[in-house]
Structure 1
Amino acid sequence: MSTSAAAGAAGNPAPAALAQTQSADSTSAPSADAAALRKLLDRMMSGAYLVGQAPEKLGAPLPPGAEVVGAMGQAGYWTVFLDSPKSPAEVIAFYRTQPGWEVVEPERHQSANGFLSESLEGVDSGSLTIIFRQEPPTLLQITAHRLAEGQATQVMLSVQTGKDAHQMKENLSSYSSAESLLPVLRAPSGVQVRPTGGGGSNDWYNSEANLQISQSLKQLHQAYAEQLRTQGWAEVNPSSTLPGGGEASLWHIAAENEQPVRLVLLDLQPVPEGTGLYRGKLTVWTR
C-alpha cells in the first residue's frame, strides 16, 4: 500500500484528497499561486501531508492555545508543525511534565553547531526534549524555537508509534553523537535559517536547514566557505556548481585538541519550482 493510501486508510486525507476537497469547496478554479503551491507540496512530500490540521490519531498531546500549521508523514510516523504563544521553555516544560511519559532526553539547548541564524536580539535558537510512553508505544521528539521577540514559538513534533518506537528509543540511548564536531556556519545578514533536523552516529552527523536568501546561492556558499577557512578548515576540492544550480564543497581539518581528523561536506541546493527557498546540508565524518 502506498504511503498516501495508508494515510487515507487511517482516516487522514492524502494529498489528492486534499486537492479534491479544496476544489469542491470553491466555486472557481484555484489561483495560479495556489496551484503552484500544491504542486510544490506534492513534489516535496513523498508521504501524505495535512494543511492546518494534525492527524486524528496522532498519539501525542498538543500544547493549549497552539495553532496547527500542518503535518506530514504516514501511518506510524508523523511530523507536526505548530505555532505557540508560549516561550520555547514553556512548551518544553509542558511536554516534560506529561503524566505517563518518561523523559528520555532532558531539555537541552539546541546545538550551537551547524547552520545558525545571525545573532539578533530576541531570537531563541530553541530547546529540544524527547519523551517516551510505554503503552501504546510512542516516542515524541519536540523542538521549539522563536525567531524574534513578539513572534510565536515555532514547534516541531516528531511522533513515532508502534514497535519502532522502542527501537528508536534504544538507539537514542546507545550512541554518542558526532554533532559536536560540526563546524559553526552563521547566517550572513539577510539570510533566514530554519533548522529542519539532523542525525547520525558516533562517527558522522548531518545537519539540515531551510534557507531563505536574497543573494545568489554562489554568494551564500562563498560566505560560508570563508567562515570554514577562518575556523581552520582547508578545501579538499574546489567548490563546484551542481546540476540544478546547487553549490557543494568538501573540506578537511587535521586532528587537534583531542579532536579527530574530520571531513565536512557543505551542500546547498535550490528547492524545486524556484520559490527562493534553498536546502542546506552540512555533513561531518571522523576518521
Structure 2
Amino acid sequence: MPSTFGIVDLFAGPGGLGEGFASFAHNGDAPFRIGISVEKEASAHRTLTLRAFLREYRARRGILPEEYVRFHAGEIAEPNWSEIDREAWKLACEEARALELGTKAAATEIDAAVYRLREAHDDTVLIGGPPCQAYSLVGRARARGNVGYVPEEDERHYLFREYIRVLDRLRPAAFVMENVKGILSSTIESRLVFEMLMEDLSSLGTGRGHHYELRAIRVEGDRASLRPITRPADFIVKAEHFGVPQRRHRVIIVGIRSDIASRTDETSIPVGFHAELSRFFHREVSHL
C-alpha cells in the first residue's frame, strides 16, 4: 500500500507551494495530502480556501465545477461556493485557516491538526516559510525609511521560530522552508538571521531523537537533485532554471529526518519534482 504524507503548510500565502505538493502524482499515486494550511492575510486566505475547495471537488467528481470555469473566464460573478458543494466547502474551510502565526490561538489549532495528521497518515511533511517582507532587500529599504522603525521590535524577524516550534512538535519525514534570498544577509541584534535559523535547525533532536539533515536543490540539465551544502548560497534556487522568464531567486532549504536520510540516496528526487518546482515558480510569478 503506498505511503501517504499529511502536509502542514505554514505562512501559506495563496497556496502555491502547497498546490505543488498536492498535485504531485507518480504512477497514479498522489501521496501528499494537505491537512492544514495557515495564512493570516485575508485575500491570500480566500485564494487558499478556494484552492482547497477545488481540489476536494475534483477529487469527488473528477472535474472542476462549471461555475468556476465560467467565473475564471469572467462570464459570471464569483458564486457562493458552499451552495455548489456544501461538504467540499466545509472541508476546505477546515483545511485553510485564517490564523496569525505566533499567537496562542494559532498554536492551539495547529497542535490539534498535528495530532490528527499523525493519526491519519503514514508520516508528515512541513512546508512554508516566514514572511519575506522582513528579509527582502526592498522590504528592508522601506523599513529604514520609516521614522522610529526598530528592527529588533519587528516580530516578523522572529516568526521563523514558530516554524521551528511546529517542526519540533510534528517531527515530519521532511520539511521545505522557502524564503527570499535576502534572508541570507538580514541581520537582527547584530547577528545574521540565517545564522540563528541554522542554529535552531541543527539543535533539533539533540539528545532526544532524530535530527534533520539539510539539503540544497541542485539542477543539472533537466534533472533536479538534493545535495549536501558547503555554504549558505547553496540553498539559492533560480527561477530561470525552471523555465520562468524572470530572474527570481529563492532560498529553499530541504531537511530530511535522519532515520530516513540514512537509507535514502541523497542525490535522488522523485520523478516529476523538477516539473513541480517549475510550476511553483510560475504560480508565484502569477500572483505578483
The verdict on a shared fold, with TM-score over 0.5 as the criterion, is: no
Q: Which has the higher helix share?
A: 2
- Higher relative contact order structure (alpha carbons within 8 Å, sequence separation ≥ 6): 2
Larger Rg: 1
TM-score, length basis structure 2: 0.27
Q: Give the TM-score of the pair, scaled to structure 1.
A: 0.27
